[in-house]
Structure 1
Amino acid sequence: MESLPRETLVDALESRLREDILTGRHPAGGYLPPERTLADGYGVTRTTLKHAFGRLMQAGLLETRHGVGTRVRDYLRLGGADLLPMLVRHSPDWLGEVFEVRRSIGALIAERAAGRASERQRTELAALLAAVGEAADADAVQLADVEVHRALARATGNRVYVLLTNTLFNAYLPVRAALRAPFTDAGVARGRLEPVVAAVRSGDEAGARRAAEQYLTVTERIMLEGLA
């Protein structure tokens, strides 16, 4: 099998640069040292450095100004939610903030879905809920649960809710193996989620909000206890 030392080195450098940016060694808003100086400091070639720069630019952490240099973006001021997966992997502190938004947005989505869902969407929610109870293992249960929440967002008729839901799941799905505790028993997981789906299917907006708040609070607590 052909080895890929260059890619391996680029991966390592990207990770090191990202860590140095997020920990403040290269502060937001400041320019990085000249490429030659930086490459020598990290013990890599300028070609390797440019590859790593390209990835970090795509991630939204760096920007290059022709003739001026490469600057660390102020990602907290200028960045978008697409940075969340990377930030959650970098620091678990971000996960608590993701969960806070998950609670508030999830409850609102359930309320809106109860008032707006079509008959076809109500039927789809029932089928997706059943799939949670029939899933084979914790990972499958967790992913089936995710699909219920995506369907709730679609049922609001508001595409921004759909994108926000996708963003929140994208933030913590990369670390989902550590968050499986609420999903180890398929029947119990289905039972927790059932009141949300039932309220949405019956058109009970206030009930859907309460049920979602309860569900999201309980599952968050279980997840965080599992991490602890």
Structure 2
Amino acid sequence: METLPRETVVDVLEKRLREEILTGRYPTGGYLPTERRLAERYGVNRTTLKHAYGRLLQAGLLETRHGVGTRVRDFLRLGGADLLPMLVRHSSDWIGEIFEVRCGVGALIAGRAAARSQAAQHAELRELLAAVRTADSGDAVQLADIEVHRALARATGNRVYVLLTNTLFQAYLPVRSALVRPFTDPDAAHARLAPLVEAVTAGDAGAARAAAESYLKATERIMLEELA
């Protein structure tokens, strides 16, 4: 039997505060009510509130000034991409913007990989591509597909591209199960991805960029249709 995680009071309070911050009940730049008032409002003790605060501070939604109070951080100006998974959980509207960046970055990575990759990386890409076709479920195909894109990023020789690729995958992790439709047919998923791998291993940067754009736009269309 699989043991499902159970929400704690801190989990529930963190979600409640997060939603109220992101929906504007507590506006950007404004200070939250005192801990005593908030604890009374939500029916929790101050220790529980501090634990929830700690998570939101770590996420970048809040900042604390000693002796002054805790206020809502201007995350759009000061935050980083690590906020994206949380923002996607709050609103699926972020997915379209993530996909726009995914397409631009993916095409750039493909071109760089074609220009810079070596024989060993070509062999790895072909092996990972073959794993897409032999995967035995939509979830497994999706994960195999992701590994191809991680390998493409590594093939650029630029570690920042690797981190950007990881960030984009993490961004839509909260809704990944709803984006599985392009991967339910292993043969079709393999056929969509193969031209990209072939262009990269052939060293044709222009064809690789075009193949990446074609692949990313096709899968984006299918995934957005599923979400709709």
The bucket for the TM-score relative to the shorter chain is over 0.9
Letter in 2 for 1:103: C
1:156 matched residue in structure 2:
156
1:212 matched residue in structure 2:
212
In 2, the alpha carbon distance for the partners of 1:89 and 1:146 equals 21
For residue 64 of structure 1, give the secondary structure of its aligned residue in structure 2. strand
For residue 163 of structure 1, give the secondary structure of its aligned residue in structure 2. helix
In 2, the alpha carbon distance for the partners of 1:102 and 1:224 equals 14
Deviations 1:116-136 (A, max 9, x none): 001110100000000000001
Q: Deviation of residue 185 (structure 1)?
A: 0.3
Aligned residue pairs total: 224
Q: How does 1:176-215 map to 2 (within 5 A)?
A: 176-215=176-215
Q: How does 1:106-185 map to 2 (within 5 A)?
A: 106-185=106-185
2:72 matched residue in structure 1:
72
Q: Deviation of residue 175 (structure 1)?
A: 1.3
Q: Deviation of residue 174 (structure 1)?
A: 2.5
Q: How does 1:22-37 map to 2 (within 5 A)?
A: 22-37=22-37
In 2, the alpha carbon distance for the partners of 1:226 and 1:133 equals 22
In 1, the alpha carbon distance for the partners of 2:79 and 2:160 equals 18
TM-score normalised by the chain length of structure 2: 0.96
In 2, the alpha carbon distance for the partners of 1:214 and 1:49 equals 48
In 2, the alpha carbon distance for the partners of 1:173 and 1:66 equals 35
Deviations 1:182-224 (A, max 9, x none): 0000011000000000000000000000000000000000000
Deviation >4 Å, runs of 4+: none
Deviations 1:136-156 (A, max 9, x none): 100000000000000000000
In 2, the alpha carbon distance for the partners of 1:52 and 1:176 equals 26
In 2, the alpha carbon distance for the partners of 1:36 and 1:82 equals 30
Superposed CA RMSD:
1.2
1:49 matched residue in structure 2:
49
For residue 122 of structure 1, give the secondary structure of its aligned residue in structure 2. helix
Q: Deviation of residue 38 (structure 1)?
A: 1.0
